[in-house]
Amino acid sequence: MALDSKIPEGPLADKWTKYKSSVKLVNPANKRKLDVLVVGTGLAGASAAASLAELGYKVKAFCFQDSPRRAHSIAAQGGINSAKNYKNDGDSVHRLFYDTIKGGDFRAREANVHRLAEVSVDIIDQCVAQGVPFAREYGGLLDNRSFGGAQVSRTFYARGQTGQQLLIGAYQALERQIGLGNVEMYARHEMVEVVTIDGKARGVICRNLVTGKLERFLAMP
């Protein structure tokens, strides 16, 4: 069966921007009524869970490690690419898109990579706001370096520990939302099945790795 990755229609560079400006919105008053389940609390999951909770949704987050901070993201080293063009060496969203597609042996989904290149410009600022200590030049501006697979200098870094520092930033944002009661964290829970109703993901079955018991979680209003 072919995978339906639900990429929006339209010209490549406009697909997600157009979708974002036309997708149905959730009334702020209704956000608290919606449960969102996030499986995984690495850089992707921890950021998603913290951001969704900040937006007002009720979030449940799961990871199989004993702490969200144990995710594999901690191992990333070199840095994070962003098309900020701080070095004025001709960088652009298109060039970051092109390098990333090429670096992925032309096998990645193009529209999603384009979106990644678009938001790369803001992600660095969000990480700085979360306290990530990126390397800086003598004058205080964010530094970057030239890294593998890139035509220009666009890799923002925190020594050789970028993944660790990014994960600590995301983890702090997640812990803040846990403290505020907006995220319920389920560590040592391994998802074993996604529950679908009418083709839509509505819940998960997890194994509680402490008790060995199966537990179910629904994400329905």
> With respect to ligand FAD, which residue has the nearer C-beta, 26 or 218?
218
Q: Which is nearer to ligand FAD, 148 or 181 (CB)?
A: 148
CB of 31 to ligand FAD, least distance (A): 24
Dist CA 51 CA 54 (whole Å): 5
What CA–CA distances, in Å, run from 71 to 118, 140, 206? Answer: 26, 31, 18
Residue whose CB is less far from ligand FAD, 33 or 102: 102
Are 55 and 180 a contacting pair, CB within 8 Å?
no
| Residue 199 Cα to chain centre, angstroms | 24
Minimal distance, residue 137 CB to ligand FAD, in Å: 20
Minimum CB–partner distance for residue 66 and ligand FAD (Å):
10
| Total count of residues recorded for the chain | 221
- Both tokens of 124, joined, read 């660095």
Q: Least distance to ligand FAD from the beta carbon of 194, Å?
A: 10
What is the token pair recorded at 158?
A: 């925190």
Q: Which of 93, 75, 96, 172 is nearest to 133 (CA)?
A: 172
Coil, helix or strand for 104? coil
For ligand FAD, the closer CB: 194 or 197:
194
| Distances 160 to 75, 128, 155, 156, 216 between C-alpha atoms, Å | 10, 17, 12, 11, 40
Q: How far is the CB of 104 from ligand FAD (least distance, A)?
A: 12
Which residue, 163 or 169, is less far from ligand FAD as judged by CB?
163
By CB under 6 A, name the binding residues for ligand FAD: 39-45, 62-65, 71-73, 75-80, 162-163, 190-191
Query: For ligand FAD, which is the closer residue by CB, 31 or 203?
Result: 203
CB of 192 to ligand FAD, least distance (A): 7
Q: Which residue is nearest to ligand FAD (CB)?
A: 42
